[in-house]
Amino acid sequence: MFAYYFQLGLRSLRKNPVLTALMVMAIGFGVAASMTTYSVFRATSNNPIPQKSSQLFVPQIDNWGPEDAATTMGEPPPAMSYTDAIGLMRDHKAKRQTILYPVGVSLIPADANLLPISERSYAVYGDAFPMFDVPFLYGGGWTTAEDDAHAAVVVISKAFNDKLFHGANSVGREVNLDGRNYRITGVMDDWNPQPLFFDVVNSSAFPDPVQLFIPFTRAIELKVATNGNNNCNKSPANDGWEGYLQSECVWLGYWAELPTETDAKAYLQYLHAYSAEQQRAGRFHWAPNERLRNVMDWLDNRKVVPPESKISLLVAMGFLVICLVNTVGLLLAKFMRRASEIGVRRALGASRKDIYAQFLIEAAAVGLAGGLLGLLLTGVGVFGVSLVFDPRIARLATLDVSLVLLTFAVAILATVLAAFYPTWRAAQVQPAWQLKSN
């Protein structure tokens, strides 16, 4: 019967081309607006590491006290001081952990005539690679021993490897960074989590891919300053690099891998104990104030999803609802004009269920046509997203297979939903009265 009803639906739609066009346009525009804004929202609210997002945590230690915390509603600073980061690293309470910060590293080409190339880089511990599930094309990350030895090793991106070594396996070869040679231990495969969850404090959350990783211990030894934010609540007591490391300035990111809920609870207790110890030692003059958030909670806390993305999605959804309300009216007019046909069909054996099926399938046909138009307009909309949003966010909005399927699903479901009331009214037609009136 589905094919029969679908055929009847198409026939009915062809019969009233103007009414059909109005409904298809209403659905098409409504769906396109909501899908275009959804594509942006989906990209910005994406879980960048779904397989581990509940196991990776950001600890926060309040090393500034209530005076400064008051300005952040009691929230500890979003980054960590060197003292605390090293303290946590030394205690090594998580399965894996890393300190990280963005560094400004330049590649010095072998050809002296060429200018140095600045690459987007991070200083991390070797644990970061298995923690963040970084995919490798060749080789891998460096070892704990190399961390401890402040080794001159580097992990490079596929793009960087393509540029320097034309895609060949470069593991074991050396690159000159800021005048020093680094041995390549691994070449990453394409990897660009969006948002860049491990550093939403220093980046826009949607930056270009990271090209290089060097050991944190090496960067500290070479006194490589952060290329990101540095916040101090007071000037460092001592001058120079050592004074900076001993200060309460916060500039480091910290991640801990805690596979189970029990691990996370234990780690939070550990953070509390650590802060209490700092209090007892006279460094903190306030009660322990710590946080521990997993990836999605952290992204939420840092408000990674741009507010305009949420607002435009809500506005577009509202627009879709208005379009659907119009569609309800148009479908009602269309269906009730066929009251005599409904009466005849009922007299000839159609049950109310049959009438429901026939008219809902006809509505689905409208939804399908609306979905096609919506898809076309969504394509145009996604292309034009950069006119409204930051280009770095706009480029994330793409019309992929899942969005195409979602567009059709939303169009058909929304239209069928809109058709429920008109169909219910149609099914209430009393065949006796209808036939008598004829």
Partner 1 sequence: MLKMTHLAKVYRTEVVETYALRDFNIDVKEGEFVAVTGPSGSGKTTFLTIAGLLETFSGGQYHLDGIEVSQLNDNARSKIRNEKIGFIFQAFNLIPDLNVFDNVEVPLRYRGMKAAERKQRIMDALERVGLASRAKHYPAELSGGQQQRVAIARALAGSPRLLLADEPTGNLDTQMARGVMELLEEIHREGATIVMVTHDPELAARAQRNVHIIDGQVVDLAEDPRFHHAVHEARTGTPA
Distance (Å, rounded) from C-alpha 85 to C-alpha 73?
23
Among 72, 181, 238, 430, binds partner 1 (CB under 8 A): 430
402 binds partner 1 (CB under 8 A): no
Gap between the Cα atoms of 247 and 235, Å rounded: 8
Residue (325 or 432) nearer to partner 1, CB: 432
Determine, following the binding rule CB under 8 A, whether residue 341 of this chain makes contact with partner 1: yes
Collapsing DSSP to helix, strand or coil, 284 comes out as coil
Query: Is the CB of 99 or the CB of 339 nearer to partner 1?
Result: 339
CB of 340 to partner 1, least distance (A): 7
d(CA 267, CA 304): 25
Residue 380 lies near partner 1 (rule: CB under 8 A):
no
- Number of residues lying near partner 1 (CB under 8 A): 25
Of 411, 385, 420, 406, nearest in space to 323 by CA = 411
Structure-token pair, residue 369: 């046509």
Q: Does 15 bind partner 1 (CB under 8 A)?
A: yes
175, 107 Cβ separation under 8 angstroms:
yes
Are the C-beta atoms of 89 and 99 separated by less than 8 Å? yes
Residue 350 makes contact with partner 1 by CB under 8 A:
yes
Q: Does 351 sit near partner 1 (CB under 8 A)? A: yes
By C-beta, is 317 or 344 nearer to partner 1? 344
Question: Contact at 8 Å (CB) between 157 and 212?
Answer: yes
Output the six-digit token pair for 411.
């169009």
- The yes or no reply on residue 348 touching partner 1 (CB under 8 A) is yes
Per DSSP bridges, beta strands 180-188 and 153-156 are parallel
Task: Output the smallest distance, CB 21 to partner 1, in A.
Answer: 18
Quote the CA–CA distance of 331 and 325 in Å, as a whole number: 10
Report the nearest approach of partner 1 to the CB of residue 405 (Å).
Answer: 32
Asked if 17 is part of the footprint of partner 1 (rule: CB under 8 A), the reply reads: no
CA-to-CA distance for 81 and 88, rounded, in angstroms? 11
269 lies in the site for partner 1, by CB under 8 A: no
18 sits near partner 1 (criterion: CB under 8 A):
no
Q: Which H, E and C letters describe 62-108, residue by residue?
A: CCCCHHHHHHHCCCCCCCECHHHHHHHHHHCCCCEEEEEEEEEEEEC
Of 28, 195, 215, 343, the one binding partner 1 by CB under 8 A: 343
Closer residue to partner 1 (CB): 75 or 341: 341
Q: Which is nearer to partner 1, 120 or 346 (CB)?
A: 346
Our separate counts of H helices and E strands in the chain read 17, 10
* 345 is an interface residue for partner 1 by CB under 8 A: yes
If the CB atoms of residues 5 and 29 are measured against partner 1, the closer one turns out to be 5
Question: Of 37-45, 269-277, 344-352, 370-378, which segment contacts partner 1 by CB under 8 A?
Answer: 344-352
Angle subtended at Cα 306 by Cα 303 and Cα 307, rounded to the nearest 5 degrees: 95
Q: Smallest distance, Å, CB 383 to partner 1?
A: 40
Angle between helix 339-347 and helix 401-427 axes, rounded to 10 deg:
80
| Smallest separation, CB 412 to partner 1 (Å) | 24
In the complex, least distance from residue 350 CB atom to partner 1, rounded to whole angstroms: 5
Question: Which residues 311-340 are close enough to bind partner 1 by CB under 8 A?
Answer: 340
Binding segment toward partner 1, per CB under 8 A, in 92-100, 189-197, 262-270, 348-356: 348-356
CA distances from 77 to 66, 222, 249, 253, 340 (A): 11, 26, 10, 11, 71
Rounded to whole angstroms, the Cα distance separating 161 from 398 reads 27
Q: Is 353 in the site for partner 1 (CB under 8 A)?
A: yes
Compute CA distances 48 → 45, 67, 200, 205, 360, whole Å: 9, 34, 12, 11, 39
Estimate to the nearest angstrom the gap between the alpha carbon of 32 and the chain centroid.
21
Check binding of 20 to partner 1 (CB under 8 A).
no
Choose the binding region for partner 1 from 9-17, 138-146, 375-383, 407-415 (rule: CB under 8 A): 9-17
218 forms part of the interface with partner 1 (CB under 8 A): no
Nearer to partner 1 by Cβ, of 11 and 283: the residue is 11
From the CB of 7, what's the least distance to partner 1, in Å? Answer: 10
Minimum separation from the CB atom of position 430 to partner 1 (A):
7
Q: From the CB of 49, what's the least distance to partner 1, in Å?
A: 52
Counting contacts by CB under 8 A, is residue 428 touching partner 1?
no
Instruction: Name the residues that contact partner 1, by CB under 8 A.
Output: 1, 4, 11-12, 15, 340-341, 343-354, 430-432, 435-436, 438
